[in-house]
Structure 1
C-alpha cells in the first residue's frame, strides 16, 4: 500500500490553518521543526490545560486529500493545510490504518500512527457546518471522525511535495484508531 504527499505545511503559531511549503523537516521524537505542535509533551492548548506532562501523541497531523474532495461535493472550499494538517496525502485510507502503523515518507522519515484527530469547535468557526461534515456514523451508530490521523516521528527527515508514502502495518492483532 503506497500513497503520495500532495502538500506539506507548518506554522509557528497556534493558528487553525497552517502555511504550505515545498518541504518540512521532521525531527525524531518532536514533530515538525518550527511547528507550534512540536514537542515531547502535548502542545494542543486544551490538552496542556488538562495535563501539560502528557506525551505528545499529536506531533504530526495527516489528512487524506480524498476528504477535501468529499467536502467540496458538500459545498465547502477547503485547500490543503486549511484544516491544520502538516501532511496531505493521496491514495491512502488513513482512517482505516491500525495503531502503530509505520509510514515511511520520502527518503528517510518514519512516522508511527497514534490515533485519530478529534475535530474541535475551531473547525466550525473556520466554516459553519464543517464540524458535522467531518463526523459521521458507522453501521453500529458509532461516531466516525474523518478529520485525519495523528502520528509521532520515529525517524526524522525531509518531507517534500510529491514524496512517496510507504505503509507498514504492525503485527496482528491490529488495534483500531481511537482519538488522541
Structure 2
C-alpha cells in the first residue's frame, strides 16, 4: 500500500477511535483531574467550547484513549499483539496513578490494538498507525484549540455528553 494513503487511513481511524471513546467515557462532561478544568476554562475564555476544552484538558492531563491509541501500535510494533495488551495495562496503571476513575485509555489501547492488527492485513504497518495517531492528536491539541474545542463540543452534544457545568 502507498504510505501516504496508509497514513491518511490510519489517521482517520485513530482520530475516530480516540475521539469517540473519549467522548463516550465523558471527557467533555467534567474535568477528570484538576488540570483539565483549568485548561477547559482557559480555552473557553479564548473563544472555545467548554465541553471541548474539558475534553482537551482531560487528554492532556491523564492517559485517556488518545494515549492508548498511540501506545498500542508502539506495543504491537515491539511485541506483537501482546505489546498492545501490555500498552492497555500500562495505561490502566497510569489512570490509577492520576486518580482518574475512567477506563477510556484502557479501552482505547485495546481497540487500537485490534485496529492495528486488522489494518496490517491491508498493508498498514504499526509504524504507519503511529504516524497517523500523531497527526490525529495534532488536529485536536496542536493546531487551534478554540476551533478544535468547538468541533469536540459539537460531537459531545450529538452524543449527549456535553458539560452542564458553568
- Point out the structure with the larger helix share: 2
Structure 1 length normalisation: TM-score? 0.27
- Point out the structure with the larger strand share: 1
Structure 2 length normalisation: TM-score? 0.28
